[in-house]
Each structure stands twice: as structure tokens, then as C-alpha cells.
A and B are shown apart, each in its own frame.
Chain A
Amino acid sequence: MLVLTSQKDRYGYELVEQISHKFAIAEGTIYPLLRRLAAEGLFSTYLSESGEGPPRKYYKITDEGRRVMSGMIEEWNAFAIGVQEIIKGGSD
């Protein structure tokens, strides 16, 4: 979610769609997650008119959000490398 919003500001439905394409999760539970990240100060939100339909609530990543994101990416990479090495080691 942080990575998606770091690319550009996104509205809720867009995020939900992107995430639910990749992971089998109940779409409704993404909104509580968005809300939590916003409450923790990782996102700020604003309303903006769209070409079609009603004004949409956009999520914008904050500096704190970017910090947390890069921390998580590093953590994930280290984890993935560890797993990779164990898999390779196991097939020797």
C-alpha cells in the first residue's frame, strides 16, 4: 500500500483494486487498514474532484510513510535473500 501511494497519490478504490488483484483478501478490510495507516501519520488524505462521478478521497504518502516504507522494503529484502539462500542450500 505504501509503495503504491509512493508512486502517485491514489484514491481508496484504486488501492483496493490493486491490492485485491494480487492478494485474496476481503476488499472491505483494506479500508480499515488505510484508516490505520492514516491515523499513524503515514498517509495524509484530501478530497479531489474527478472527471467522472463524485469527489474522491485521495491518499498521499507522508515523509514518515516513506521512511517506514524503505525500512520495510529493506527488511523484506533481507528476509527474501535469507529464504533464497536456505532454498539453494537445501538443494545442494
Chain B
Amino acid sequence: MNKEAYLNELARYLKLLPPEECAELMGEFREHFECAQLSGRSEAEVISKLGHPRLIARELLTQSQIERADKSPTLLSVTRAVMATVSLGLFNLVIVLLPFITSLTVIAGVFVFAICLLISPVLLILQYQSVALSINSIFLMLGLVGVGLLVALGTLKLTRLYYHLVIRYLKYNLTVIKKDVTSFEA
């Protein structure tokens, strides 16, 4: 692989980044080659020291996904950031993906529970096939719906906090796992 092939491959991977970011990074790598040439290093040597473009690109893409999720934490952006992190190392399947899926399932469960409470009046009416309800059951329904609302709102708040925690964990993970990636390469 020569310099142009290397840069082209890197550029292909980095296309997924915002264009101005991609251009800036490509400029930086071009600069690296030029500086190395000035200090008398051969292209082949520079390329072997740099490491595989795919590896570098994966790190950059993961960073960018985490930043994006940090700016607008939604289920989609956070999941993307998690998946990008998992692509960095097999070990992340265990320490990132597994906890993420587990905790997400728990949160989904609580949401389902809240929704059940919210629609409980409808369910009750369907079950008894009548609209003639005693005062007692009306109070019961109001109570259930109230609790349902509280649980739903609470979980929504909690989910936002949870996204925040996930992103912080991913950022931390990036600093730790980085050492593994680089020492493997070297």
C-alpha cells in the first residue's frame, strides 16, 4: 500500500463523518505524511507505523457517535454509540453490550407496566362488558391511572439520566480500551 492508497482507504471509512470533520482529519493525515517525508522516513515505514486505516477510522467514528449521542441523547443515538463502541473490541460485547441490553429490557418492562396501568380502565370495561360502574371501581381506576402516570413520567426522567450514564461509561470505556487496541496494533 502506498500513501495515496492509504489515504483513499481512510477517506472511504471516514465518509460517515460530517464532511468538514472528515476533511480536517484527512488534512491532518496528509500533513503527517508530508512531515514524515521531510524528516526522511519512507512511505512504507510511515504506513506500517500508522496502523490500519480501518482501526483508526473505527476509533474516530466511535468518538463521533458518542459525541452525537451526548448532544442529543435518544434511544437511536445512544444505541448507535453503544454499537460503535462494541465494534472496537470483542471484550466490549461482555462489558458494554450485555449490560446495555439488560438494563434496556428492565426499563422497557417498567414502561409496559406503566402503560398497562394507564389503560387499565379500558381493560376493566372490556372485562365486565358494561359501563355501569360502582363509585369504588371508579376510584380504583383513577388511582391506577394516577400511579401509571407517575411511573411513566418517572421512568422518562430516569431514562434521560440513564442515557447520560451510558454515554459517560462509553467515554470512559474509550479511554481504557484504547490501550488494548493500540498495543495489539503495535
Contact = CB atoms under 8 A, between A and B. Distances in A.
B34 A28 contact: no
Count class of interface residues, chain A: 20 to 34
A53 B35 contact: yes
A14 B55 CA distance: 22
A20 B63 CA distance: 22
A12 interface: yes
B183 A35 contact: no
Given A26-B185, A31-B56, A32-B63, A20 B49 contact: yes
Given A24-B186, A28-B50, A29-B185, 7 more contacts: A13-B31, A13-B35, A14-B35, A25-B182, A27-B50, A29-B178, A29-B181
30 contacts: A12-B28, A12-B32, A13-B32, A13-B35, A13-B36, A14-B35, A20-B49, A24-B186, A25-B185, A25-B186, A26-B182, A26-B185, A26-B186, A28-B49, A28-B50, A28-B52, A28-B55, A28-B56, A29-B51, A29-B55, A29-B182, A31-B28, A31-B29, A31-B60, A32-B56, A32-B63, A35-B60, A56-B31, A56-B35, A57-B31
